[in-house]
Amino acid sequence: MAAIAPAHRTGGVAQAAPNRAPRRRSPALRKAFPYLLVAPALLYLMAITLYPGAFAIYQSLFVVTFKGWDWAGIDNYTRLLGDREFWAALGNTAVIGGISLVLQTVIAMTMAYFSYRDPMIKGWRIVFLMPMLFMPSAVAFIWKLGFNDGRVISDILLGLGIVSKNVDWLGSIWLARLTLIVADVWQWTPFLFIIFVAALQGQDQEIEEAARLDGASWPAIFWNISLPMMRPIIVVAITLRGIDITTMFTNVYIMTQGSPGGATETMSFFIYRQGFRMFNFGYASAASVLMLVMTVVIAQTVVKRAFHSGKK
Amino acid sequence: MTMKLGGLSRRSFLRTGTAFGLAAGVTGLKTPAFAQSGLGDIQAILDGISVEGYVREDYRKLYNMDNTPLWDPAKDWIRTVDWEKVRSELAGTTVRFAIGAADQESAAVAIAPFEALSGIKVELVPIPDDSIYDKAISEFISGNASFDALQFFSAWLGDFAGPGFLAPLDDYAAKWALPLDDFHDTYRLNYGYFGGKLVGIPFDCDIQMVHLRKSVLEPILGGPIDLVNSVPTYDELIRITAEANKLGGGVAGIGLLGARGFWSTYSWEHIAAQAGMQLFDENFDPLLTSEASMKGLDTLLALSKNAIEGVAGAGWGENRAAWLGGQVAANISWQDSGTQAMRPDQSQIVDDFVTIYEPRIAGGVFAPPNIAGSTSVVTATSQNPEGAFLMLAFLTTSSIMAMNEANANGVAPGYKSVLTNENLRKVSQPMKVWSDSLEHAWCSPRLPGMFEMEQALGNEINRAITGQITGKEALENGQAAWKAIMAKNGFGTDKAPVQYADVKAGTYVGGGKALPF
């Protein structure tokens, strides 16, 4: 600051001031200066992330009723570990999220591989991106209409002769899960697609050309050259998408409400239901904390292993 | 240092400001008198609260409604209260009314004549509809609620009244002669009283009923539908909805609320009440595994087999859409399904349906269920509880409630004098059966934790509906959950938030009465 002060005072034009020694800050101020620079960002982060997080951890140690907070220690956590609905929600999140993530990755990669060399890709990339740009709640309502209320998909299947009567999408565990998977894949495959296209376009084409000249087929080139080179990007993209899927809420809230019988209740919906429908705020906080810990651990492990093995 | 503000020194500014503030403060004591001077003519304002002024023009034309009242003016509180007295005591004061954001505009329209009549200013505090409970609870717990009055889902009454968040209204009701006796007992007792004290004024007075499509079911029944005898039992309802289900053509046998949470509980309560089910014994021990409870659930599970696809996710919205859209032959839902189905702008089944008396179950009772609904309350921390009470009394007065029903907007009247009004019955198909049914209504008590309990049980019933567990397991699981929730809320201890004797009368009001048919 001292060095630029003269320029600042003269309207940006640095003028020599030979007779004036540069102003020096006190050692304490110099030490504090970096912290002062990051303080606004830190305060912002604390207000919107750290404080609520710490508050959730604190609240998870209490039974919160309308009359007040009663100390519970780790009781909420031990109850959670014995709660069938908690484990079911965890399982549902893994099943729905896992299948959805695999499908999205495969579809996005396939589409990306066959289209990234297209010179027109920049023009029609936006078409692929469109589902991602729609409001998630609106998308969920449309799929809800399609599957349930409006019977659109049933009518199409009936018309095609694939089914003989209307399909009760919420009447079966796997059909209900399928509706969520379809909605999620439709909306979020473009996210992975666009990343994969960018990764493929960023690769050194000479390596691919060399392989081709050596007689490698396109599957061999993809499997042995493109895919390994994309590994870090794939891992990061899948991790981001995985974290997002772990918190899947909108589609569940709008399309199934966890039906049938909790078979589509994800962790986020379980926490919401405990907190805002059953009013077990301490219990919901404990579930949130557990979910956060699990997400961080899994994400860290995946990223660490992927990059570590990449180095090897 | 001397700061200059437009030629005024800081000191002189403060001095002038203080003098102005003192003067304003003293004259402010006289504000009610000033406020009164600008208020309009009471009779003219009351005359404006009429069918022509409030009921939709298209509905007035459709049903040839003239300006004849749809209520009994002698029992319409706004026409009996002394507005001059209200003005002299409360004009110039303010009431803050918390309301769901979606209702803000309509409430503002309804509030305008109240402000003109009373001189009380009403500030609406819109709250996102999904967070009324959380917002209200957090404000109540803080001990400094930013609103004086609140309208909410009546199932929450125990949660709000139990900890003492609500102001007692008995004195105001007596002072301003609120016609509490005109409310059907089931609403007065369950939406109004908690622990023997009046804490709420019934707002949206609901009942669940059974509605049938004539074009689908009359051929199955072999003739025109008789309101009492065509479907006298739930066994018969199961039979005809199964028959209807086989017909195809995009019409399923029955629509009902089968979604997780309280929706499924409501459907079960509806049917089990006809089997004679009571939720608690006199020690507040849950009776979910009783024979009547089980019979109710068996019946619900049998009906769900004839239900429209998606029933396991059907709440009010989905069920209403299926019924009004003509996708089901029968429907178990609220009475407004029978009013809204009459309105061509809301329904595709106008003139093709009828609402019947509740089917019976052998060994049970005739106990049509008062389920859900909403009530209106004054907060214990209100700065203007009397003004808030008067505003709520205005909004729930019989004329406005009657016109809500004529508008088929889903806000239902609970007044005997309104539900027996012949003019209103002409524009509300279910009203005769509905009114008769209320004399025998069943209702779950509004206990602290009841909403949570109904959620927990509904999740289990939903699992039974989708075949994941048996009905018996669902009720056993529900019973265990209820016991835990009740223990958490202090039941079973000497600190129980409410005594069974205080709620017993409201749970079934039909004891010893002759059937209406």
CA atoms within 13 A on the CB side of B305: 12
At B236 the pLDDT is 98
**How close, in Å, is residue A280 to chain B by CA atoms?**
9
Residue B7 pLDDT exceeds 50: no
Range A218-232 average pLDDT: 90
3-state SS assignment for residue B211: strand
Range B135-160 average pLDDT: 87
Is the domain of B342 the same as that of B487?
A: yes
B4 is a domain residue? no
pLDDT digits (tens, 9 = 90+) for B13-54: 444 444 444 443 433 444 444 445 578 899 999 999 999 999
CA atoms within 13 A on the CB side of B11: 2
Is B155 near chain A, with CB under 8 Å? no
Distance between CA atoms of residues B4 and A309, nearest Å: 72
Higher per-residue confidence, B21 vs B246:
B246
Phi, psi of B99 (to 5 degrees): -150, 150
A214 is a domain residue? yes
CB contact under 8 A, B459 and A259: no
- Give the nearest chain B residue to A154 (CA atoms): B309
At A9 the pLDDT is 39
- Give the nearest chain A residue to B140 (CA atoms): A66
Question: B401-420 burial, b for 16+ CB within 10 Å, e for fewer?
Answer: bbbbbbbbebbbbbbbbbbe
At B287 the pLDDT is 97
pLDDT digits (tens, 9 = 90+) for B478-494: 999 999 999 988 999 88
3-state SS assignment for residue B223: coil
The total domain count for chain A is 1
Q: Which of B137, B324, B459 is the best substitution to test chain A (most A C-beta atoms within 10 A)?
A: B459
B387 is a domain residue? yes
Provide the CATH number for the domain around residue A177: 1.10.3720.10
Is the domain of B179 the same as that of B283?
A: no
Provide the CATH number for the domain around residue B469: 3.40.190.10
Range A94-103 average pLDDT: 97
Is the domain of B425 the same as that of B470?
A: no
CB contact under 8 A, A148 and B469: no
Is the domain of B339 the same as that of B377?
A: no
Range A159-173 average pLDDT: 89
Least trusted range by pLDDT, from A106-115, A142-151, B235-244, B318-327: A142-151
**How close, in Å, is residue B446 to chain A by CA atoms?**
15
Is the domain of B58 the same as that of B97?
A: yes
At A3 the pLDDT is 37
A239 is a domain residue? yes
CB contact under 8 A, B261 and A277: yes
Confidence at B193, pLDDT banded by 50, 70, 90:
very high
Average pLDDT, chain A: 87
pLDDT digits (tens, 9 = 90+) for B62-117: 999 999 999 999 999 999 999 999 999 999 999 999 987 777 776 787 899 999 99
Contact predicate B359/B237, CB 8 Å: yes
The shortest CB-CB distance from A259 to any of B140, B260, B309 is to B260
Is B140 near chain A, with CB under 8 Å? yes
Is the domain of B316 the same as that of B400?
A: no
Residue A272 pLDDT exceeds 80: yes
pLDDT digits (tens, 9 = 90+) for A26-44: 888 888 889 999 999 989 9
pLDDT digits (tens, 9 = 90+) for A104-143: 999 999 999 888 877 777 777 778 889 999 999 999 999 9
**How close, in Å, is residue A191 to chain B by CA atoms?**
30
Range B117-143 average pLDDT: 84
Is B320 near chain A, with CB under 8 Å? no
Which of B131, B139, B199 has the alpha carbon at shortest distance from B169? B199
Which of B172, B234, B244 has the alpha carbon at shortest distance from B201? B172
At A45 the pLDDT is 86
Q: What is the DSSP letter of B156?
A: G
The shortest CB-CB distance from A170 to any of B140, B310, B463 is to B310
Is the domain of B381 the same as that of B361?
A: no
Residue B125 pLDDT exceeds 80: yes
Is B159 near chain A, with CB under 8 Å? yes
With both helix axes pointing from N to C terminus, report the angle between B450-465 and B291-304 in degrees, rounded to the nearest 10. Answer: 50
CB contact under 8 A, B309 and A169: yes
Residue type, B457: L
At A14 the pLDDT is 44
CB-CB neighbors (< 8 A) of B451 in chain A: 279
CB contact under 8 A, B137 and A263: no
A60 is a domain residue? no
CB-CB neighbors (< 8 A) of A172 in chain B: 466
Tell how strand A68-71 and strand A62-65 pair up. Answer: antiparallel
A85 is a domain residue? yes
pLDDT digits (tens, 9 = 90+) for B252-272: 999 999 999 999 999 999 999
Confidence at A302, pLDDT banded by 50, 70, 90:
confident
Is the domain of B186 the same as that of B197?
A: yes
The shortest CB-CB distance from A277 to any of B315, B455, B469 is to B455
Residue B10 pLDDT exceeds 70: no
CB contact under 8 A, B488 and A276: no
Helices (H), B38-156: 42-48, 51-54, 57-62, 77-80, 83-90, 104-118, 132-142
Distance between CA atoms of residues B333 and A150, nearest Å: 20
Range B497-503 average pLDDT: 94
Q: Tally A–B CB contacts below 8 A.
A: 103
Range A208-223 average pLDDT: 90
Confidence at A21, pLDDT banded by 50, 70, 90:
low
- Give the nearest chain A residue to B318 (CA atoms): A149
| Sequence-distant (≥ 6) Cβ neighbours of residue B243 within 8 angstroms | B220, B253
Contact predicate A235/A307, CB 8 Å: yes
Range B502-513 average pLDDT: 96
Q: Which of B140, B260, B316 is the best substitution to test chain A (most A C-beta atoms within 10 A)?
A: B260
pLDDT digits (tens, 9 = 90+) for B369-415: 999 999 999 999 999 999 999 999 999 999 999 999 999 988 899 99
Residue B6 pLDDT exceeds 60: no
A7 is a domain residue? no
What is the share, in percent, of chain A residues with pLDDT greater than 90?
56
A112 is a domain residue? yes
3-state SS assignment for residue B121: strand
At B257 the pLDDT is 97
Residue B337 sits in which domain range? Answer: 208-367+449-494
B327 is a domain residue? yes
Give me B208's structure tokens. Answer: 């669940």
Residue A165 sits in which domain range? Answer: 77-311
Confidence at A19, pLDDT banded by 50, 70, 90:
low
Phi, psi of B370 (to 5 degrees): -85, 105
Is B138 near chain A, with CB under 8 Å? no
CB-CB neighbors (< 8 A) of A67 in chain B: 163
B427 is a domain residue? yes
At B188 the pLDDT is 97
Is the domain of B201 the same as that of B212?
A: no
At A22 the pLDDT is 66
CB contact under 8 A, A149 and B318: yes
Is the domain of B142 the same as that of B171?
A: yes
Residue A178 pLDDT exceeds 80: yes
At B92 the pLDDT is 96
Distance between CA atoms of residues A22 and A11, nearest Å: 18
Contact predicate B396/B390, CB 8 Å: no
Tell me the pTM.
0.85
The total domain count for chain B is 2
CA atoms within 13 A on the CB side of A146: 15
At A108 the pLDDT is 95
Range B146-172 average pLDDT: 93
B326 is a domain residue? yes
- Give the nearest chain A residue to B319 (CA atoms): A149
